[in-house]
A and B are shown apart, each in its own frame.
Chain A
């Protein structure tokens, strides 16, 4: 059994680093879409399959998307984007309104890519662990009941985005698979020593 639980020091260090790098990400985002973005302080948690199911428990007022990443750390980024405020967001991002289905999907995927990219590069730059995002896809609710995950624990690094001038929020969760947690811990230890 690998020791995949973070020590308190490791956790604090990771949170601090994420906080710094997310600040930079927010600046770039503001430059791109010309709006003030509010970021939550990143939270770091271990999650069981049940916790993840809870996160992905589909609600009608949210879009769900996922994007995998490969490299020295591997995993998936989940983004939960509020339906409310999407229209205003579309306007900011220079989409023609009213949005048709394909355009809405494109907007969600674009937002997912931008937000996941910001969060993931925040993580990988600070720790000097390279990883690349793949194409984002929409996550539709599973019709086969409870999914059967073949892992026991993932590390969730979660950041919430919201916008000052109108009601919109997005929740971005980086899920690191077990082997990557070990790499992450090694990098954290190197930084801490």
Chain B
């Protein structure tokens, strides 16, 4: 059956419309999406709910291939096969994490950094690489320390936004950490802090949170991305559907980076009925790791058993 010129034109036109619709359809950010969030009693976009990131940013903010573990050692070469170098094609999990097998592997990820480049100063790029190589000893997550901002947002744990008028709480499950977003005027913190000081304001549909007063102890991910106490984060939370928030964070730290840089990701509503933030009091889980090397004193003999 031959197609007339007229019907071909209709097919092409339909395809063009479909292509246009497809191009328009993914809601990539709050700016292009006309979605209007439901309102709270005081007329603000309602951000209440339990939210969670579903990505691999907690492993590495940047694009990364899959690998067998976070802590790796070089595979020993096999030189006994003439004409072949039969070393294992990938590095091997370090002894301390080898027993985890595939459960200790790192899934690949496209990354969440705009342009995929984190603009480290040269010394800081070297520091980041070293951090990654010493992940087991250095990552504050392993010791159950408060994760800092923005890391708390995309750890593989849910968090809840509890939206008051003057204060908005973010209750993270990991390490029972909370943040107060001050919608009214507050003085700076008397000292540097793990989670910083959060000052919020509304920009139309978006909650903008300006975060300062950090210490230099937290990381951005398990890959060793880090910052100094000059860290300044500006976060933007925008409802883009009944089930999504778009999260954006601009990260500036003149002691570590050459320019500000940005991450962006959707956050998903945990829609299970009655979903709650449960306890993850991990201090109890890491005491053996942190203090166990001191052993136990035998009260009868005074001997220390390790």
Q: Are A and B co-members of a single complex?
A: no
What is the interface of chain B, defined by CB distance below 8 A to chain A?
Answer: none
